[in-house]
Amino acid sequence: MYFLTKNLASKISLLPMIIISLTVFVGCIIYSFIYSLTGSKLIPALNYVGFQQYERLFKSRKWDVAVENIFIYGFVFTIGCLVIGFLLAVLIDQKIRGESLFRTIFLYPYAMSFVVTGLVWKWVLNPTFGLEHSMHLWGFDWFKLDWLVNRELAIYAVCIAAVWQGAGFVMVLMLAGLRGIDEDIWKSLSIEGIPKWRSYLFVILPMIRPMVVTSIVLIAAGVVKVYDLILALTSGGPGYATTTPAMYVMENFFSRANLGQAFAASIIMFISVVCILAPWAYYEFYFRNKEAK
Amino acid sequence: MNINSNNFQPNGPRPKHLTIGRIGIYCFIFMCALFFLMPLYVMIVTSLKDMDEIRSGNLLYIPKVLSFYAWPKAWSEACTGFVCEGLKPGLINSIKITVPSVIVSVSLGAINGYALAFWRFKGAYFFFGLCLFGAFIPYQVMVYPLLKIESAIGIYSSLPGIILVHTIFGMPILTLIFRNFYASLPIDLFKAARIDGGNFIKIFFYVIIPMSTPITIVAVILQVTGIWNDFLLGLVFAGRDNQPMTVQLNNIVQVDYGVAEYNVDMAATILTSLVPLFVYFISGRWFVRGIAAGAIKG
C-alpha cells in the first residue's frame, strides 16, 4: 500500500491528466483505428471489413484532390511564411524608426480567428465587387483576380490568406533569432566588406537555424489541420477543388454519415502528423537532452 | 524557443544619414505594411458603406456617405439560419464558454505543472509524455470519439461539454509551460518550504501561486485568444444554444438565401475579432510569448 499512498496528493492532483491522456488521447486513436476497420455508416458498428475503408480512401477522387491540395497549401504556405517572415524580420532589424509600430502591424492578423481571415479575404477577392472591380474602375481592364471561382487557382487564394495571417508570427520568431546574434559578428562581417544581403543569407541565416527549424515545424503542424480557414473562404469549392483531408474527415463524419471512411481518413491524417513531427520531437527532447549531458 | 523580451532590443546606434538604400528599405516596409493593413481597412470602410455604394463604388475608397446601418444590424438583427438575433447571443455564448474554460484549463495546467515539477513520482513523466503527445494529434481524430464519450456521460452539446473539451485540448500545452516555468524556479525555495512544514496544498497556495504571475499571464492570453477564435470545437460540441461567435459569424455570412449584405458581414467580422485584437493590442510582448508557447497546440 505504501507504494500507492506515498506522495498521494501529487498522484491525486495528476489524476485528471492521467485519465484524460489515457482515455482521450490514446483511447481516441485506438477507437478510431478499430472503427476504421469496420463498415460503419451512420452509427459506429463492429462489422469488420479489414482494410477496405483504406482501399476506398486511396481510390477516392476527392481524397486525391484533398491530398494534392494539402501538399500545394503546405508548400506555398510554408515557403511563403518563411520567405516573407524572414524578409520582414531582416527589414525590421535595420534599426528603422517606428519599429514597434511595424511589428504590431505585421503580427495583428495572427490574433484573428481563421474564420475572420477567411471571410475578409473572401470579400477582398470577391470577383464582382472586390479588388478586381477596383482595378477595373482605375482603368486596368485586363486585371483578373477570379481565383475564388477558378478551380485551379482557388487553393492559392487560401494560401494568400494563410500567409497573410501567419507571416507575422514567423517574423517574430526570426527576429528573436536575429536579435540574438552577437554584435561582433556584424563588426567582423563589415570589416570583411561583405555586402549586407550576402551576410544575411549565407552567415546569419545558418546561425539562426534553430529558429528556422522551429518555424518550419510549427507551420507544418498547422498545415495538416487547416479547416476553418477553407470553410470560411471557399467552403471547399468551387466544386470540391479546395477540399482538404480535415474537411474530408469532417464531411464523412457529420454530413455524409460514412463513419468508417472518416475514421480511416483521420488515422491517415494522424500518421502523417506523426511522420512530420516525430523527427523534430526526437531531436528537440531526446537528442538535445543527451547532448546537454 | 528562447523568446525573452530583452531579445527584442536592436543592437547598436541608429544610423544617422538617410541613404538611398535606407529610403528603399522604408519604401518596401511601408508597402508590406499596406498589404497587411489592407484587409483591416477594407473591413472597416465596407462596414460603413451602404449597399448601393458597395455595388457601384471602389472597394478601396472611403465611404462617400457614412452609413451606420450595418453595425446595429450585425449586432442584433442579422440572421443565422432561422434565428435573426445578430451576433449578440454569440458574444454572450463566447463569453460563457471562454471565461470558465480559461479558468479551469489554466488552473489544471498550473496544478499539473506544479505536481510534475516538485512532486514527481514514478511513472509521472510517462503520463506527461502521453499528455504532450496529445498536443500533436489533429482534432479530427479525436472529435468523434470524444463526442461519444461526452454523450455517454450526458454533457454533449452543452456548456459543460464545450468547457471540458477546451480544458482537454488546452491541457498539454498549459501543463508544459507551467512545468517548465516551475522547473526553472530555484529548488531550494521548495526545500525551505518543506522544512518549514509545508505540504502539497500549502506550498502551492502560499509559495508557488504568488510567484506564478508572469506565466499565468502568458497562459491566459494564450487560452483567451485560442478559445475565442476556435471554430471547430464550438461547432461540434457547444450545441445549438451555446454556439460561439465564430460559428454564428460564419452562419451569418454564408447564408444561402436572400441578398448578401456585405456591409453587415464585415461589421459582424469586425465585432468577432474585437476581443482578440483588444487582447493583442494591450498585451504587446506578452502576446508574443503566449503564441510562441502555444504554437504547437493541436
User: Secondary structure of chain A in the HEC alphabet?
Assistant: CHHHHCCHHHHHHHHHHHHHHHHHHHHHHHHHHHHHCECCCCCCCCCECCCHHHHHHHHCHHHHHHHHHHHHHHHHHHHHHHHHHHHHHHHHCCCCCCHHHHHHHHHHHHHCCHHHHHHHHHHHCCCCCCHHHHHHHCCCCCCCCCHHHCCCCHHHHHHHHHHHHHHHHHHHHHHHHHHCCCHHHHHHHHHCCCCHHHHHHHHHHHHCHHHHHHHHHHHHHHHHCCCHHHHHHCCCCCCCCCCCHHHHHHHHHHCCCCHHHHHHHHHHHHHHHHHHHHHHHHHHHHHHHHHHC
What average pLDDT does this structure show over B240-262?
83
Q: Does B116 touch chain A (CB under 8 A)?
A: yes
Q: For residue B12, tell me if it sits in a domain.
A: no
How much is the pLDDT for B162?
93
Which of A37-41, A98-102, A159-163, B284-288 has the highest average model confidence (pLDDT)?
A: A159-163
User: Could you report the per-residue pLDDT of A219-272, keeping only the tens digit for each?
Assistant: 877 787 788 899 999 888 788 888 999 999 998 988 888 889 999 999 999 998
Distance CA B227, CA B166 (A): 7
Residues B69 and B116 in one domain: no
Q: Given pLDDT bands bounded at 50, 70 and 90, which one contains residue B11?
A: low
Distance CA A228, CA A191 (A): 51
Residues of chain A found within 8 Å of residue B277, distances taken between Cβ atoms: 108, 111-112
Q: Percent of chain A at pLDDT above 70?
A: 96
Position B133, amino acid: F
What average pLDDT does this structure show over B193-205?
90
Q: Packing angle between helix A61-92 and helix A99-107, nearest 10 degrees?
A: 170
Residues B35 and B124 in one domain: no
Residues B242 and B106 in one domain: yes
The structural domain count of chain B equals 2
As beta bridge partners, residue A48 has A38
Q: Does A156 touch chain B (CB under 8 A)?
A: no
Residue A258, number of CB atoms within 10 A of its CB: 19
Enter the C-alpha cell of residue A198: 550576402
Contact B222, B294 (CB under 8 A): yes
Residues B156 and B256 in one domain: yes
Residue ranges and CATH numbers for the domains of chain A are: 39-292 (1.10.3720.10)
Residue with cell 469496420: A38
What average pLDDT does this structure show over A153-172?
91
Q: For residue B258, tell me if it sits in a domain.
A: yes
Residues B213 and B279 in one domain: yes
How much is the pLDDT for B113?
93
Residues B174 and B112 in one domain: yes
Distance CA A26, CA B151 (A): 19
How much is the pLDDT for B183?
87
Residue B135, domain CATH: 1.10.3720.10
Greater confidence, A26 or B293?
A26
Asked if residue B284 has pLDDT above 80, the reply is no
Distance (Å) from the C-alpha of residue A152 to the closest C-alpha of chain B? 23
Q: For residue B8, tell me if it sits in a domain.
A: no
Residues of chain A found within 8 Å of residue B296, distances taken between Cβ atoms: 218, 221
Residues of chain B found within 8 Å of residue A108, distances taken between Cβ atoms: 36, 40, 277, 280-281
Residues of chain B found within 8 Å of residue A225, distances taken between Cβ atoms: 138-140, 298
Q: Given pLDDT bands bounded at 50, 70 and 90, which one contains residue A188?
A: confident
- Name which of B98, B141, B266 to mutate to probe chain A: the one with the most chain A Cβ atoms within 10 A of its Cβ: B141
CB–CB contact A10 B115 (8 Å)? yes
Distance CA B168, CA B162 (A): 10
What average pLDDT does this structure show over B25-32?
90
CB–CB contact A24 B142 (8 Å)? yes
Q: If phi over 0 gives left and psi between -120 and 50 gives alpha, with beta otherwise, what is residue A107?
A: alpha
The alpha-helical segments, DSSP class H, found in chain B are 20-47, 51-56, 70-76, 88-118, 124-134, 139-152, 159-183, 187-195, 200-203, 209-211, 213-229, 232-237, 245-253, 262-283, 285-294
Asked if residue B2 has pLDDT above 50, the reply is no
What average pLDDT does this structure show over B79-103?
87
Q: For residue B171, tell me if it sits in a domain.
A: yes
Q: For residue B289, tell me if it sits in a domain.
A: yes
How much is the pLDDT for A173?
85
- Name which of A3, A17, A261 to mutate to probe chain B: the one with the most chain B Cβ atoms within 10 A of its Cβ: A17
Asked if residue B6 has pLDDT above 50, the reply is no
Q: Does A45 touch chain B (CB under 8 A)?
A: no
Residues B119 and B215 in one domain: yes
Query: Model-level pTM?
Result: 0.87
Q: Given pLDDT bands bounded at 50, 70 and 90, which one contains residue B258?
A: low
Residues 54-93, chain A, touching B (beta carbon < 8 A): 84, 88, 91-93
Closest Cβ–Cβ partner in A91, A245, A277 for B28: A91
Greater confidence, A45 or A110?
A110
Complex ipTM over 0.90: no
- Name which of B144, B201, B222, B280 to mutate to probe chain A: the one with the most chain A Cβ atoms within 10 A of its Cβ: B144
Q: If phi over 0 gives left and psi between -120 and 50 gives alpha, with beta otherwise, what is residue A236?
A: left
Domain boundary among B25, B41, B76: B76
Residues B179 and B254 in one domain: yes
Q: For residue B83, tell me if it sits in a domain.
A: no
Q: Does A145 touch chain B (CB under 8 A)?
A: no
Asked if residue A203 has pLDDT above 50, the reply is yes
Asked if residue A26 has pLDDT above 60, the reply is yes
Asked if residue A288 has pLDDT above 70, the reply is no
CB–CB contact B120 A32 (8 Å)? no
Domain ranges, residue B34? 17-76
Contact A137, B58 (CB under 8 A): yes
Distance CA B106, CA A240 (A): 39
How much is the pLDDT for A214?
77
Distance CA A229, CA B91 (A): 20
Side-chain-side CA neighbours of residue A195 (13 Å): 4
Residue among A270, A272, A275, A262 nearest A36 (CA): A262
CB–CB contact A28 B142 (8 Å)? yes
Q: Does A235 touch chain B (CB under 8 A)?
A: yes
How much is the pLDDT for B294?
57
Query: CA separation (Å) from A76 to A67, A156, A158, A167, B146?
Result: 14, 8, 10, 12, 33
Q: Of A285-289, B6-10, B184-188, which gets the smallest average pLDDT?
A: B6-10
Give yes or no for a cis peptide into A238 (omega within 30° of 0).
Answer: yes
Q: For residue B9, tell me if it sits in a domain.
A: no
Residues B173 and B225 in one domain: yes
How much is the pLDDT for B297?
46
Contact B63, B52 (CB under 8 A): no
Average pLDDT along chain B: 85
Asked if residue B68 has pLDDT above 60, the reply is yes
Q: Percent of chain A at pLDDT above 90?
A: 30
Q: For residue B7, tell me if it sits in a domain.
A: no
How much is the pLDDT for B53?
83
Q: Does A96 touch chain B (CB under 8 A)?
A: yes
Q: Given pLDDT bands bounded at 50, 70 and 90, which one contains residue B3?
A: very low
- Name which of A6, A19, A21, A107 to mutate to probe chain B: the one with the most chain B Cβ atoms within 10 A of its Cβ: A21
Residues B99 and B156 in one domain: yes
Q: How far is CA A241 from the centre of its chain?
A: 19
Contact B291, B222 (CB under 8 A): yes
Distance CA A155, CA A157 (A): 5
Contact A155, A247 (CB under 8 A): no
Residues B71 and B93 in one domain: no
Residues 47-66, chain B, touching A (beta carbon < 8 A): 54-55, 58-60
The radius of gyration computed from the CA coordinates of chain B, to the nearest angstrom, equals 24
Residues B97 and B200 in one domain: yes
Provide the number of CB pairs (under 8 Å) joining chain A to chain B.
270
Average pLDDT along chain A: 86
